[in-house]
Homo-oligomer: A and B are copies of this chain.
């Protein structure tokens, strides 16, 4: 399966050429490298080797950026076609612009970092607020799981307010922590503090649930270590009501 992103650290040039050719039509690619840039026909001797940032886009755009300034040092427009090869131990990327015909040539003896990301055109959905998420669950408790029963929201503890507290069908106490965007390590620790507090009160039938549209891999790892659960909850249609300005006038 095609990867969402690819990172190569201090890679072999052959790896870079392969990855570039495989991903150039689907991924935005950035390469930190040492290179020399040339146009077909120009004298090579006038050009300098230097550290650069190369950017390639799926539409054929190619840019060579230096350490400073907004403008790329060299570039080819959308519609250009780039191919990477190994020639005389160097990574060579040729970008051909068709009209007018112009060939930009990048020669590199060393690549430091290659990264590529398949940018989605679909939009990331974000909840308006955590209160929105909690209200949605209060109205539709089955979104968490069948048999989930809400006890109360914003339940005060010495360690802060628990977003939502409830029971499952087996009588376990469920502690729910909500995050409107990607859940991070801190969210897991927050849930852990509430869990330990309930535990210290003598409750043993406890479940910790983190509710968010996404979670980072490090946060997920910690979550599993604590024996907690992750419940993904993405917004479908924005529930935000627009104020009726017409009526107010």
Is A181 an interface residue when CB atoms closer than 8 A count as contact? yes
Within 8 A of B (CB), among A78-126: 78, 88-90, 109-110, 112-113, 115, 117, 119-121, 123-126
Are A32 and B49 also in contact (CB < 8 A) when A89-B181, A181-B90, A217-B10 are?
no
Within 8 A of B (CB), among A149-201: 179-182, 184-187
Contact call B182/A123, Cβ cutoff below 8 A: no
Least distance between A3 CB and chain B CB atoms (Å):
11
Contact of A51 among B9, B67, B117 (CB under 8 A): B117
Question: Which residues of chain B are within 8 angstroms of A28 by Cβ–Cβ distance?
Answer: 32, 53, 65, 67
Question: Oligomeric state, in number of copies?
Answer: 2
Interface string of A207-224 (1 = CB under 8 A from B): 000000110111100000
Contact call B14/A51, Cβ cutoff below 8 A: no
Contact call B51/A13, Cβ cutoff below 8 A: no
Contact call B10/A119, Cβ cutoff below 8 A: no
Contact call B113/A14, Cβ cutoff below 8 A: no
Given A32-B117, A66-B119, A89-B181, 20 other A-B contacts at CB below 8 A? A5-B9, A12-B184, A13-B184, A28-B32, A50-B119, A50-B123, A51-B121, A51-B124, A57-B65, A58-B67, A58-B68, A61-B70, A69-B78, A70-B78, A89-B187, A90-B181, A110-B181, A110-B182, A113-B115, A115-B115
A-B pairs with the 7 shortest C-beta distances?
A: A109-B181, A32-B117, A51-B119, A59-B68, A34-B124, A67-B119, A110-B182
Q: Report 25 cross-chain contacts, Cβ distance below 8 Å, ordered by A residue.
A: A5-B9, A5-B32, A5-B113, A7-B7, A7-B113, A10-B217, A11-B216, A12-B219, A14-B184, A14-B186, A32-B115, A48-B123, A49-B124, A49-B126, A51-B119, A51-B121, A53-B55, A57-B67, A61-B69, A63-B70, A66-B119, A70-B72, A89-B182, A109-B124, A109-B213
